[in-house]
Amino acid sequence: MGTVELSVQVGTPPKTLLEAVESFVIECAARGLSKNTIALNCIILRELTNFLGDKPIEDVTTDELRRFFVEKATSTSVSTAARYHNTIHRLFTFLAEDGFIPTNPMAGVKKPKVPAPVIKPLTPEQIEALIAACDAKSFVGLRDKLILLMLIDCGLRASELANLTLDDVDLENQIFLVRHGKGGKSRRVPFGKAVLAVLRAYLAKRAEVTTPNLIVTVYGDPVDRYRLRAIVTQRGEKAGVKCTTHLLRHTCAVSYLRAGGDAFSLQKLLGHSTLTMTRRYCELADSDIAEKHRLYSPADRIKNAGLEQKRRRLR
C-alpha cells in the first residue's frame, strides 16, 4: 500500500488540500491507528487530491465532493464507496474541528447505503470437511489445521492471527493476547481444548524456529494476513467448501450463540466496539432457534393439544 510523504511541519496550519491530508495522517498516527488503516487512508485521499487538485482547503465545495462520489459509484462497489466516504468525512471533520476551515463540506454529502451482507455460516459437516482436508502428519498440514481451528474457535481476524507471537500465547490459561486488534485495541481471547491439543503439537514441531511469529512457513518466515487468507481459501477448495477467514469468524460467532453463549461475551471475544454487529449474529441465531422450535415444539408433541381435538361448547 502507498503512503504519503510528509512535508508539512507539525503545528503548521494546513492551507492546501495536500497539506491537510498530511496533517490528517499525522493525527491518525497520533490516535494510534494501525499502519494498514493509515496506508488505506492515504490511498483514498490521494485519489481525492488527484480529482480535486491541490487547491486551498477552504475552496473545496460540497458539489465537488458529490461529483467525486458520483464517479466512485460507477467504478467501485457500494461498500468501497462507503469506506471512501468515512475517510474523507473524517478528514474534513478534523479540519473543521481544529478550526482550519469554517464548515465541513462533507456534511452535505450523503453516505452510500450499504446493504447488510448475507451471513451464511458453515455447517458442522462443512467444518469437519475443512479440518479433514489438513493432513496433520506434515508440518504444513498441522499448521493449517491450527489456523482453521483458531479462526473457528476464537473468531480472530486474519491480521490478528498473523500478528500473534509466541509471547502472546498463554498455554496454562488457554489465552491468546491480541495486542493490536481493530482500532489498535488489545484484548484477551480464550481458546478451547481442541485448539490447545493441536497448538501443543504445532509448537513442538516448530521448536527450533527463532521467528517470534506464531504462524510460520516451512522456512520459518512469518505468514502474513494475505498468505493466511490464501491458505484458508486453498483448504476450502480441497474440502469442496467455499471459505474465507472472515466466513470462519462469522461461523465462530453464530456457533458460539447457538451453543448458549451470550451477546456481551461474544462482543468481547470478537473485539467489537459496539453491539451492532453482534446483534446481527444474534438475529441469525434466533432464526435458527425458531426453525428448531418448529421441528421440536414441546406443545406440538402433546396428544390432542391442537385444534384437532373434539370441539366443545363454551360454558
Residue 97 Cα to chain centre, angstroms? 29
Cα distance between residue 146 and residue 126, in whole Å:
17
Sheet holding 175-178, edge to edge: 169-170, 175-178, 187-190
Catalytic positions, written as ranges: 157, 182, 246, 249, 272, 281
- Please report how the helices 124-132 and 139-154 are oriented relative to each other, as an axis angle in degrees rounded to 10: 160
Cα distance between residue 219 and residue 230, in whole Å:
18
